[in-house]
């Protein structure tokens, strides 16, 4: 995933819902320490950033993503 583009990935690809079960996709939005990248770095709009954060937190709760480094 290229973070140089500053247009929202979800709006551009017409993605309505960020699914917490797609752990490989969500790993693109977290760094090696397990922290979620900020909106300015990823270029995601505010609406989708909120749903992205919620999906990452749900995936961590369900143990689909690790909460710490790999």
For the whole model, what pTM was predicted? Answer: 0.85
Nearest one of 66, 59, 55, 64 to 15, comparing CA atoms: 55
Would you say residue 70 lies in a domain? no
Would you say residue 44 lies in a domain? yes
Would you say residue 3 lies in a domain? no
Would you say residue 24 lies in a domain? yes
Q: How many domains does the chain have?
A: 1
Structural domain harbouring 48? 9-61
Give dist(CA 31, CA 28) in Å, integer.
Answer: 8
Q: How confident is the model at residue 4 (pLDDT cuts 50, 70, 90)?
A: low
Would you say residue 25 lies in a domain? yes
CATH of the domain at 36: 4.10.640.10
Would you say residue 46 lies in a domain? yes
Would you say residue 45 lies in a domain? yes
10-60 pLDDT, tens digit each: 999 999 999 999 999 999 999 989 899 999 999 999 999 999 999 999 999
């Amino acid at each position: 995933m290229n973070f140089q583009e500053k247009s929202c990935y979800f709006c551009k690809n017409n993605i309505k819902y960020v699914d917490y079960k797609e752990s490989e996709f969500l790993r693109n939005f977290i760094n090696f320490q397990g922290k979620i990248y900020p909106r300015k770095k990823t270029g995601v709009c505010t609406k989708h950033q909120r749903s992205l954060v919620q999906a990452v937190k749900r995936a961590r709760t369900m143990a689909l993503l690790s909460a710490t480094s790999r």
